[in-house]
Structure 1
Amino acid sequence: MSMDQNSSSSGDALWQQANALATAGDLLGAVPLYLELSDIWPEQAAVWLNLGIVLGGLHRHAEAKQCLERAVEMDPGNPHSQFQLGQMHEQLGALEAAARSYLCATELDLRHFDAWHSLAEMARKNGDDDLVEQYLQEILRAEPDHAAGNFSLGNLRQKQGDLEGAAHYFSIAYKLTNDPACGNNLAGALEGLGRVAEAINILHDLLQARPDFMLAWNTLGGLYMQTQQYREAREALLQALSIDDNFHAARHGLARCLVQMHDLSGARAQFERLTRVLPDEVMILKEYALVLENLGDFQEALTARQQAMKLAPSDAHLMADQANLLRSQSRFDEAIALAQKALTLDPNELRANVTIAAATVDQKLKMQHISTVLDSGTQNTIILGAIAGMFEQHKNAAAAIIVYQNILAISPDDSNAAIRIFDLKMGMCDWTDYEAICQSQVDQIEAGFADTAEEGGRFDVFNLQALPVSYEFIAKTARHAAANIAADARMNLLAPDLVHAAPQNKKAGDGRIRLGYALGYTWFHSLPLVLEEIVKRHDRDRFEVFGYSVKPGDDSDFSANYRAAFDHFKDIPEAAPYLAAQMINDDGIDVLIDVTGLTSINCMPISSFRPAPVQMHGYGYSITTGADYIDYLITDRTYIPEAWENLGPEKMLYLPNTFMPTKRPEAVGAPVSRKDVGLPEDAIVFCNFNHPCKFEPVIFAAWMEILKKVPDSVLWFGAWMDDTQGNLRREAAKHGVDAERLIFSEIVEHQDHLARLALVDLALDNLHHGGGITSVDALWVGLPVLSILGDKPGARLGATLCNAAGIPEMVMPDLASYVERAVALANDGDEREALRQRLLDGRDSQPLFDNARYGRNLDNAIAAAWHNHLAGRPPERIELGE
């Protein structure tokens, strides 16, 4: 600041001292000196200007304004005084006066860029983008390298959606200043342009110079999230939070990142903290509820989403989420009411239609909402998949296939839709181009072997057993599938390997073995039916038995009783396999038996983390899982002979007699007559009540040959799907058999099914994938089952059952002898009756229904595997006598 030549020497000294204090930041110390100067030099505008600036710095805006007005009055041609007065007007809310002062400053000095910039900022706050543009262009016309002008114009371009323009101006500003805010905004613009790698590089350089700039760490975390580099994203977001633990945007980003890393418990902790400090943030509550839902904490999920609904009462999407969760908890009336409310708010909320369709028992209402979804032309494959699933549930395979084909048209790489189409066609017995379709499936899988094995991981390996392929091929496919399951479970996961609890100094024979069962579900099904019997049979002096289910139970007595059969039972989160594995590991499980294998609802991702030191598979899938994280396969020598035992990575745990457990029925329904169920009184009745997905053209041709050779005979099936009956009847006609000789009956309650099996003369097993519980039911009621000793395990299930039931002569070496034996038995009532009586008499003596015997054998085999582990030996084949 320059002073008048007539200034006194004492005033000069005071002036220098005041300015020195102001420059050093000691504003309080400078004020009394400037006030003293105002007495010495009352007409000096510079004194009033500096005093106004210092008072403004102390937030004494009214006093500052008075001083600056005096400065302007004394020296109206000073643009700086006009600018400073404008700043004080703006601080005091006098925006029109501020604008006048800024404009005056620019009129006095066209290169007064601070005034132009302040005008632009005022226009921005008023939403007048045209005026912002005008003022900023004034700056850049005079000074193209004005950093603040370029930065502000970049912000304007970003607001306008012109990301190229934004990146251009931010880049200039950043080069001029190296200011981290400029660099951060430049990275954001580049991200929007899809130039993510450039954005990441800029942030890396920025953070090397300014590692304390938390906004850049947050932006970098978001960029890593976008490129699915979740570990790097996590580290960047943690860096932001290390600078400011209350940086909520970074914590929200971290929570989302942990979800992607399958660390749902970690995500939950972050969301819990966010909801405490930001209880009214709807988006956070939405995402928190979804995490809770995936963790299986359904009531807490409902509570969190209810809170979000209070804050956003018109959010139809939120209501649809809540309605769907209520439906999953069997709260059907509440689900329907809420979904209907969502549709009132938004008639296009298709998920609400899906929920009503799934929850209602009113078939007309169900079809009305399904039609609404299909007529909408939606491209949402998740919604369409739900509709297809409903068609499947109601046995309308043809309609389900049409929807799945629509999904494939939208998303050609949707492997689930392709699998469901194939499986449904097999279940419908649609054998058009059967050989070509089967070969196509094999070709797809083999292509996956040559590439990334992805196809092998997505193919339905369980139903592959019903196709004319070798066990070697099935085992190879299973290896790829199991490897992909493990890789998917670990994708982006940052977690330590599980450490197995010390065996508490156990030695062979000391202490109880902690035995766990990894279960898919606990609702009524043939598998839980027999597993309940096994669990009850374990010797509690030797074993402590734990059950873990990835699906919640229903409200049935069966589910409750099944869970009660275990000493301890827990639901574990299917969507968080590592967390589920931790829960099992924390219980100190010694031996874990997975009963799901590569079925549609399975625990393999959990097993892949090795929650137990010894892991086995048995029962639900029963062939090699292909998983190197499964040590043993519970089986028998008939089902998997020694020649096949090395096709999978597991070691064989060979049980004597049969690996297949059974459960003695508690009751058989009241006797019925053939007339009651629509069977001819005097005919020979053959039956096969397996799901038709196990049927194929070769075995069906054999059945037709049998019918032709036994003229007064019929073949009785279960009515599984609407379209199956027509297809099988057409196939029968092709073989020259009257289609009316195929009889279909509805699936009935188990005890009633057992009663009607007494009406049958002979049960015919399948070729590739034999009957399990279906055959056990027949053998229990004394119905002989004719089977074939096939070329893969599934084709030998009938053999192991018949051997264990004491009728090994019913196991044929090939298809020709199978047909011959069926015809012979049809013509020999005495032998059929003798077989029936042997089966009934053998229920108390043969191994198949001797559950106590089976339980002892299983306990001994499990204990042998555990003791082998305690001895420090790797898994090895175990085969014990009785």
Structure 2
Amino acid sequence: MSMLNTLPSRDREALASAAACFQQGRLDDAVRLARELLARQPGLGLANKLLGSALHAQGRHAEAVVVLRLAVRQMPQDAQAHTNLGNALAAAGQPDDAIASHRTAIALQPEAATPRYNLGCTLLAQGRREEALQALWQAFEKAPTEADTARLCRELLAEIGDEQRLGAFCRLNLQHLPDDAGALAILGALLLKDAGADRAEAENLLRTALQRAPGDAATWSNLGVALQADGRVAEAVEAGRRATTLAPDWAQGHSNLAVALRDAGAWDESKTHCLRALSLDGDCVDAYYNLGCVCVDLGEHALAREAYIEAVKRAPRPGWLLQGAHACRQVLDWDGAELLEEELARQLADAPLPGGAAALSPFAFLTTPGTDAAGQLAVARQFAAQFAARPALRRPVAKAPGEEAGRRLRIGLLSADFRDHATAHLLTGVLEEIDRSAFGLVAYDHGPMAAADDAYRGRLEAAIPEWVTVAGLSDEQAAQRMLADGIDIAIDLKGWTQGYRGGILAYRPAPVQMQWLGFPGTMGAPWLDYLIADAVTIPPGAEAAYSECILRLPGCYQPNDTRREVAPTPPRAALGLPEGALVLAAFHQHYKITRATFALWLDLLRQLPTAVLWLLDAPAEARAVLEAAAVGAGVDPARLVWALRLPASEHLGRFAAADLALDVFPVNAHTTASDALWAGVPQIARCGDSFVSRVSASVVSAIGCEALVARDDDAYAALVLALAQDVPRREALRERIRAARGRAPLFDSAGFARCLEAGWRQAWARYAAGLPPAHIDAG
């Protein structure tokens, strides 16, 4: 017979009234009624359970423990009494006893969720996270529609950092609570971090989460990250702005928005949001890294270096170490660069290359001393893999081979540099010579707006009949536009360099796809069929280090513009050069000047007492590094002469005042080598084993000066010394170079265009015949 049935009706009513007061939150009344009842029925366990629970709810935990201990003695099989005692014990600072009580309750009621939930909370309060997770997960399995239990499990998994289990739990969570915004948002965010995950699923989860919880700033921010990764920059900026409006004091939201703004070309605003993030949270590591990236865009290399160093201090990730080292080299901080590169090498020796968004920058890697062509291929492939899952667009069915073979081809040129830029300086003259009856050129421009007086932009617009601005389009939208435009051969002129949009061609909008000129190495991208090169930059037999088939042009792969103006050469005194000195010009971007290269130059200066080294002007910090190195090598720093940056024609004019142009290694002079020869100055070439270290050799060979190519440092130094001491030979070289400007393949824009057209035709003929891409020798 039930204990309640033996009570007088008055006491049953009193117990019911006390319970009702407890449920209504009238705790004082519940305590009073329970005490009155116990005065009449001191052995009534139900009354003690109710009184103890009310006291616990009032915060009178020690009193609650005393009463609830009595209750469990009176009702040893009552699981709820043990659970309530466990809660009171935990609140009273007796965790071990609390855990024992919860375990007893579980044993008495093994199918109930509540005892396991309470045990999990108690264990969690003690920092026993794995045990807490086990109990809470079991509670969730018993009651999978309890949203609070699911939330605690997710939060605990996130704290533990077990993203694999967190993703699995979220999927299980959504089976039972498909509208759980927290699970939707977390699973979407996790998929963003997984290089092999379905981006569309991630976006769909995040958007669904926002339908359920439209005020969640973190979900808006993650949606922005998803859109930015998909190349949908305008949408990403909008989502990022929503996040920072909802949570203006959340540092990570500002940092994420900064990434989208950077991709949109709003560099100053991007920098502002990075700085805002750091003002809110000085340890927001992503904000330091993103600040470094946008400062590189802005040309603020000293600040970029500082930001990257702060990032790697907090999180020495491989990709960040590499970018930090490259930023150090931009300001000639060799010590910092070498320290970061050593740590990077150590990490890569212990673990595979990182993938996804954490993949190493292929450009920064190929410019790092000590890397080789095989390593550059591996890094490029890993970087390209984050775009490789993009589905190929459905193109119209190809025409029969006879119809395809000889028709006019549409060539799509993809670049951010259709303006006064080194790429345009090289390319414009050749594009002006392309046969418009046989080839229709279309520019797909994703760069900043060109200045109104940009002469190169004007010439390019005249040479390229059709222009499409894709800067505001997503990668897929840009690819769809190429498809709609009927592009036959698409050429990426940017590669993995600053401002790349390599993901556009990952959708395979054109039947034949190539890369050329912007990136001096392999892109490792399976969607690119050809790399346009020559027999010097990629000698026959070296093709295995490149993911693309090689389309070799005769002479040099690098075009030149024979319409480039050369201003008159000023007197040496006006240039800060001493009369009678041997002028060794080294007008290179500063990251190319390594410690070893500069040491070699200083050794040459020691052996050539009348020589000066003519360098592009540098910030004070970088100048101080080079001047200190000179002093350390016993060279008067006054022999380092600094050249201010000038417009292209004026720069070419003053270049002619040099006696010799020195090469850099492992990243050669590229456009600078052509500049030297166009100005009539002998260019020494230091030839290595990878594309990026063979460009100078290609350039000087194409003008018929193979004797200026050195295969190692000793040969390089010997060649400089020999020419420095042989004035007649130098003068003969200068005359030969000046004469060659009108007939050498390097400066024959029309001839280059014919060879390029022949290469395009051969590549297209293979496609039209149903054959796969293969190595091609054009010309």
TM-score range, shorter chain: 0.7 to 0.9
Structure 2 matches for 1:470-619, cutoff 5 A?
A: 474-485=372-383, 498-499=391-392, 501-502=394-395, 504-508=397-401, 510=404, 525-527=421-423, 530=426, 545=442, 547=444, 553=448, 567-571=467-471, 593-595=491-493, 616-619=514-517
CA distance in 1 between partners of 2:336 and 2:174 (Å): 61
Deviation at 1:571, TM superposition (A): 4.3
Query: Among residues 563, 575, 593, which one is paired with 1:677 in the alignment?
Result: 575
Query: Among residues 738, 741, 747, which one is paired with 1:837 in the alignment?
Result: 738
Q: Secondary structure at the match of 1:173?
A: helix
Q: 1:146 is aligned with what amino acid? A: D
CA distance in 1 between partners of 2:20 and 2:645 (Å): 85
CA distance in 1 between partners of 2:677 and 2:32 (Å): 100
The residue aligned with 1:254 is 187
Q: 1:333 to 1:428 in 2, by over 3 A?
A: closer
**1:138-166 deviation per Cα after TM superposition (whole angstroms, max 9, x unaligned):** 43454455322344455667789998777
Q: 2:655 is aligned with what amino acid? A: L
Q: 1:799 is aligned with what amino acid? A: A
The residue aligned with 1:779 is 677
The residue aligned with 1:21 is none
Q: What TM-score does the superposition give when structure 1 sets the normalisation length?
A: 0.69
* Structural RMSD (CA): 5.4
| Runs of 5+ unmatched residues, structure 2 | none
Deviation at 1:772, TM superposition (A): 0.6
The residue aligned with 1:640 is 538
Corresponding position: 1:139 with 2:71: yes
Corresponding position: 1:174 with 2:106: yes
Q: 1:520 to 1:141 in 2, by over 3 A?
A: farther
The residue aligned with 1:720 is 618
Q: Secondary structure at the match of 2:554?
A: coil
CA distance in 1 between partners of 2:93 and 2:511 (Å): 57
The residue aligned with 1:81 is 13
Q: Secondary structure at the match of 1:819?
A: helix
After superposing the two structures, state which structure 1 stretch, 608-617 or 777-786, moved more: 608-617
Structure 2 matches for 1:828-867, cutoff 5 A?
A: 830-831=731-732, 833-840=734-741, 842=742, 845-867=743-765
CA distance in 1 between partners of 2:707 and 2:80 (Å): 94
Q: 1:302 to 1:581 in 2, by over 3 A?
A: closer
CA distance in 2 between partners of 1:156 and 1:323 (Å): 46
Q: 1:444 to 1:211 in 2, by over 3 A?
A: closer
Aligned length: 760
Q: 1:278 is aligned with what amino acid? A: A
Deviation at 1:717, TM superposition (A): 0.9
CA distance in 2 between partners of 1:352 and 1:607 (Å): 35
CA contact (8 A) 1:464 1:474 kept: no
Deviation at 1:855, TM superposition (A): 4.1
Q: What TM-score does the superposition give when structure 2 sets the normalisation length?
A: 0.76
Q: Secondary structure at the match of 1:785?
A: coil
Query: Among residues 35, 38, 45, which one is paired with 1:103 in the alignment?
Result: 35
CA distance in 2 between partners of 1:672 and 1:475 (Å): 42
After superposing the two structures, state which structure 1 stretch, 752-761 or 824-833, moved more: 824-833
CA contact (8 A) 2:685 2:696 kept: yes
CA contact (8 A) 1:218 1:240 kept: no
CA contact (8 A) 1:655 1:858 kept: yes
Q: Secondary structure at the match of 1:642?
A: coil
CA distance in 2 between partners of 1:188 and 1:582 (Å): 53
CA distance in 2 between partners of 1:270 and 1:715 (Å): 60
CA distance in 2 between partners of 1:261 and 1:836 (Å): 54
CA distance in 1 between partners of 2:767 and 2:696 (Å): 33
Q: 1:132 to 1:746 in 2, by over 3 A?
A: farther
CA distance in 1 between partners of 2:225 and 2:681 (Å): 50
CA contact (8 A) 2:361 2:383 kept: no
**1:841-872 deviation per Cα after TM superposition (whole angstroms, max 9, x unaligned):** x2xx4433444543443344345345435655
Q: Secondary structure at the match of 2:684?
A: strand
| Runs of 5+ unmatched residues, structure 1 | 3-44, 50-71, 340-349, 356-372, 491-495
Q: 1:302 to 1:414 in 2, by over 3 A?
A: closer
**1:601-642 deviation per Cα after TM superposition (whole angstroms, max 9, x unaligned):** 656788789887765443233234566665433210022211
CA contact (8 A) 1:530 1:661 kept: yes
Q: 1:505 is aligned with what amino acid? A: A
Q: 2:182 is aligned with what amino acid? A: A
Q: Secondary structure at the match of 1:646?
A: helix
CA distance in 2 between partners of 1:264 and 1:632 (Å): 28
The residue aligned with 1:60 is none
CA distance in 1 between partners of 2:74 and 2:48 (Å): 11
CA distance in 2 between partners of 1:333 and 1:394 (Å): 8
Q: 1:526 is aligned with what amino acid? A: A
The residue aligned with 1:761 is 659
CA distance in 1 between partners of 2:265 and 2:92 (Å): 49
Q: 1:767 to 1:298 in 2, by over 3 A?
A: closer
Q: Secondary structure at the match of 2:541?
A: helix
After superposing the two structures, state which structure 1 stretch, 779-788 or 213-222, moved more: 213-222
Deviation at 1:474, TM superposition (A): 0.6
Corresponding position: 1:352 with 2:272: no
CA contact (8 A) 2:295 2:303 kept: yes
Q: 1:673 to 1:847 in 2, by over 3 A?
A: same
After superposing the two structures, state which structure 1 stretch, 810-819 or 247-256, moved more: 810-819
Structure 2 matches for 1:18-97, cutoff 5 A?
A: 75-76=9-10, 78=11, 80-89=12-21, 96-97=28-29
**1:433-463 deviation per Cα after TM superposition (whole angstroms, max 9, x unaligned):** 99xx69x9689748835753569x9777656
Q: Secondary structure at the match of 2:613?
A: strand
Q: 2:186 is aligned with what amino acid? A: G
Corresponding position: 1:745 with 2:680: no
Deviation at 1:507, TM superposition (A): 4.3
Percent identity, aligned pairs only, is 22
Deviation at 1:405, TM superposition (A): 6.0
Q: 2:276 is aligned with what amino acid? A: A
The residue aligned with 1:362 is none
Structure 2 matches for 1:430-449, cutoff 5 A?
A: 445=345, 448=348
Structure 2 matches for 1:380-399, cutoff 5 A?
A: 380-382=284-286, 384-385=288-289
**1:364-407 deviation per Cα after TM superposition (whole angstroms, max 9, x unaligned):** xxxxxxxxx9xx9x555445556767998899988876776666
Q: Secondary structure at the match of 1:643?
A: coil
Q: 1:310 to 1:848 in 2, by over 3 A?
A: closer
Structure 2 matches for 1:3-18, cutoff 5 A?
A: none
CA distance in 2 between partners of 1:228 and 1:298 (Å): 30
Deviation at 1:171, TM superposition (A): 4.1
Determine which structure has more spread, i.e. the larger CA radius of gyration: 1
Q: 1:192 to 1:311 in 2, by over 3 A?
A: same
Corresponding position: 1:149 with 2:77: no
CA contact (8 A) 2:687 2:697 kept: yes
Q: 1:685 to 1:477 in 2, by over 3 A?
A: same
CA distance in 2 between partners of 1:90 and 1:443 (Å): 63
CA distance in 2 between partners of 1:195 and 1:540 (Å): 76
After superposing the two structures, state which structure 1 stretch, 823-832 or 326-335, moved more: 326-335
CA distance in 2 between partners of 1:216 and 1:353 (Å): 33
CA distance in 2 between partners of 1:170 and 1:324 (Å): 49
After superposing the two structures, state which structure 1 stretch, 565-574 or 646-655, moved more: 565-574
Q: 1:147 is aligned with what amino acid? A: A
**1:455-486 deviation per Cα after TM superposition (whole angstroms, max 9, x unaligned):** 9x9777656666775xxx61232243245436
CA contact (8 A) 1:622 1:634 kept: no
CA contact (8 A) 2:113 2:138 kept: no
